[in-house]
Structure 1
Amino acid sequence: MTDLLYSEEEEALRSAVRELLADHCDAADVLARVESDTPYDRSLWKALAQDMGLAGLLVPEAQGGQGASHREAAVVLEELGRAVAPVPYLTSAVVATEALLACKGDDAAKLLTELASGRTVAALAVGLSALPGGPHGLVRQEGGALHGELTAVADAAHADVLLVPAQDGGLYAVPASDTATVTVTPQISLDLTRPLAKVAFHGASGHRLTDDAPTAVRRALRTGAGLLASEQLGVADWCLTETVRYLKERKQFNRPVGGFQALKHRLAGLWLEVVNLRAAARYAADALATGSEDTDVAVAVAEAYAAPVAVHAAEEALQLHGGIGMTWEHPAHLYLKRAKADSIAYGTAGAHREALAALVGLEPPL
């Protein structure tokens, strides 16, 4: 029987990551960064990726990684969600890494080693809203060079390498530093802690990593969707915890606001949603880790449920904090924006419900 409880090793990992984030990623620092032109926190990424070795959790030990599983990566993403950390962990250490793990050959193995070291950041050049197995933008391959434009690519502005699927079925590794043939233009993003960009290729050259880009991209997006639920769990859990703490301290009519029955009912309902989300997210992470035959179903269930819960938790936090929750200085808006942006990442909840219905043979009503 599958054990979805956190192991001692996973709890120790959580404690270490939470302690690091408490020291390097408090709310004031995140707010200051999103107000600047450099939301990406390089010092935090170095501490996470290089000093703790978390960039290589999913990379086999033979390629210089930790050889851990998706369960451990999910724990890291929970904590990053709790801190709305402005680092490319999901896009580089999870999605791009999974795409490379689907590739064979020395070029892919070398790039995996570089990602595991934390010194290289990669981004899969696919729009953030792309559904696993669904359509997404492709560039043209003409005369050995890549041409085309892709939009809403998450963390592309901070990537050293872009993994680019092309119409010829190949997946190419293109250096982002080749500014003569690669143009990365920041786009306005609701979530300022995970910036988006438009990427244009003007005759760019790259290493062909595989002839089966669709399989690599589907694997990467499925893993991204499944583990995104853990990030959304972290967002929802922070919102619930902080709201409960605030309502215990905030007084009205000389008694804590949290003692009012109407608010107790709202928070109790939200707690149940978060508990159920934890179960769904843990099941998706475990299915990915074990290669279960139910992985597609587990991922679809997790994402169909996670997005509405995370958004609801962030909305409740914003409202129940009262006037202070509406201010820019309070971090509640960062969590609402992350929850909203995540609700369309790697497929909307509605798209995942449709995918789930198809997987289990549930026909739509006539």
Structure 2
Amino acid sequence: MDFRLSEEQVAMGGAVRRRLDRHLDLARVAQYADAPSAGLDAELRRAAAELDWLGVTAAPPDGGLGLGLLDLAVVAEALGAGLAPAGVGTAMAACDVLATSIDPEQRRRWLAPMVAGELVGATALRAPGGSWDRAGIAVTATGDGLLDSGTGIATGDGPLNGGAGIATGEFLLDGDAGISGQAEDADLLLVAATTATGPAVFVVPAGHPGVSIRPVETVDRTVRAARVSLTGVPAEPLSWAHADGFEHVVRRLTVLVSADLVGAAGTALRITLDHLRARRQFGRAIGSFQAIQHELAELYVAWTTITQALWYTAHAHDTGRDDAVLMTSVVKSRAADLARRMSAAMVQFHGAMGFTWEHSAHLFFKRLHRDAYDFGDDGWHDPIIATAAIGPGTHPPQSLPGGPP
């Protein structure tokens, strides 16, 4: 299949990159990594709301563009190419999760304000040490007809809906929701929880007394993360048309993480090539040495192939193709392998300067490795691919903790 991005999608990605080039170069990213700033995160979210990045997949009645996952992945790839701090990507992901709701009133209450930048959302879909599927959910939803009418979600000068709290409030959530990116900034959290009928994602007021948000140190400091736990928190489940709504959401976010990874890997490759053209040894640019050329050629082919596969996978989700599920695992597996190879090559080919704090190599190394493991690396996805391609029982049991059953 000859699959290519449309002119509009290419232009959209270019517009995001130009914005980042003007307002968020790598020097500013490095400053953020040294001292993560809620101010920069808020600035990026405001820009994302103004430029319609948050509402790419939201319907026009909800303030969005009504486009597909492929278009959102184009934006995510451009953000990854600029190593944009994770706050804007987290807000985009939360909007995309809420956009899967089939309840127009639910989207009006929560999604429309998020798209407009009036509310900040974050996702919490996995418990510490849990697997990247429903087996990894450690939050339980219980109760029926329970409503805490005094919580609300603060926005501006007062609570949303006049202090009426979560509109349905039929469940109470308890448990460890794991580590969530940008949870400290969030007005609402989208939390995965188990119910009597299977997993669901709930809208949770981040300011409720039963919500504990404790900052944690991260290796990749372009994300400000926190551990989230809940005790008796009223929550509203998202309305989904199918029982596999949770898996559907996880696969979409897996595609977005893969897009961020591909973007970061592409910039890492370009920076490394520029260095190899400029750095000279024995009177020649070191990029002219055959051994280095071979390695770079292999990395370029891998990056190009995975990028094209990523676009096809997002397209497959948008068009409901049968191979969308398999391709999600294929792309994430290969992207995780690329992340390790590209980050190692960047550090190695820069020589001693690649190990210094002043050079950007360590920023790419950390971002690529975080993306590699987020929503599963090749060790997680390869057994899924084997089962789909060959059949169940044809591969060894997963030996890693938290691996798929």
Normalised TM-score (structure 2): 0.83
* 1:41 aligned onto 2:41: yes
Contact 2:177-2:227 at 8 Å conserved across structures: yes
- Deviation of 1:361 after TM superposition, in Å, equals 3.6
Identical positions, percent: 29
* SS at 2:212 equivalent: strand
Over the aligned positions, Cα root-mean-square deviation in angstroms equals 2.3
Match for residue 169 of structure 2? none
Contact 1:132-1:222 at 8 Å conserved across structures: no
Contact 1:250-1:256 at 8 Å conserved across structures: yes
Alignment of 1:155-234 (within 5 A): 155-168=182-195, 169=198, 171-178=201-208, 180-210=209-239, 215-234=244-263
Normalised TM-score (structure 1): 0.91
* 1:349 aligned onto 2:344: no
Contact 1:248-1:257 at 8 Å conserved across structures: yes
* 1:69 aligned onto 2:98: no
Match for residue 25 of structure 1? 24
- Whole-Å separation in 2 of the counterparts to 1:202 and 1:132: 23
* SS at 1:193 equivalent: coil
- Whole-Å separation in 1 of the counterparts to 2:134 and 2:210: 29
Letter in 2 for 1:343: A
- Deviation of 1:53 after TM superposition, in Å, equals 0.8
Distance 1:289 1:54, change over 3 A: same
- Whole-Å separation in 1 of the counterparts to 2:95 and 2:135: 17
Letter in 2 for 1:292: R
* SS at 1:139 equivalent: strand
- Whole-Å separation in 1 of the counterparts to 2:135 and 2:175: 19
Q: Which runs of 5+ in 1 are unaligned?
A: none
Match for residue 287 of structure 2? 258
- Whole-Å separation in 1 of the counterparts to 2:249 and 2:314: 14
Number of aligned residues: 363
**Residues 303-335 of structure 1, C-alpha deviations (whole Å, 9 max, x = no match):** 111111022111101111111111111111111
* 1:318 aligned onto 2:322: no
- Whole-Å separation in 1 of the counterparts to 2:294 and 2:238: 54
Distance 1:227 1:100, change over 3 A: same
* SS at 1:201 equivalent: strand
Letter in 1 for 2:367: R
Alignment of 1:237-256 (within 5 A): 237-256=266-285
Match for residue 332 of structure 1? 361
- Comparing 207-216 with 82-91, which one deviates more in the overlay? 207-216
* SS at 1:205 equivalent: strand
* 1:280 aligned onto 2:305: no
Match for residue 135 of structure 1? 136
Letter in 2 for 1:149: D
* 1:147 aligned onto 2:177: no
Contact 1:240-1:313 at 8 Å conserved across structures: yes
**Residues 139-183 of structure 1, C-alpha deviations (whole Å, 9 max, x = no match):** 3435733322222222322222112233325543112123x2211
* SS at 1:55 equivalent: coil
Distance 1:334 1:356, change over 3 A: same
* SS at 2:238 equivalent: strand
Contact 2:333-2:381 at 8 Å conserved across structures: yes
Contact 2:101-2:238 at 8 Å conserved across structures: no
**Residues 7-31 of structure 1, C-alpha deviations (whole Å, 9 max, x = no match):** 1111111221111001121111111
* SS at 2:373 equivalent: coil
- Comparing 109-118 with 333-342, which one deviates more in the overlay? 109-118
- Whole-Å separation in 2 of the counterparts to 1:353 and 1:331: 31
Q: Which runs of 5+ in 2 are unaligned?
A: 147-171, 397-405
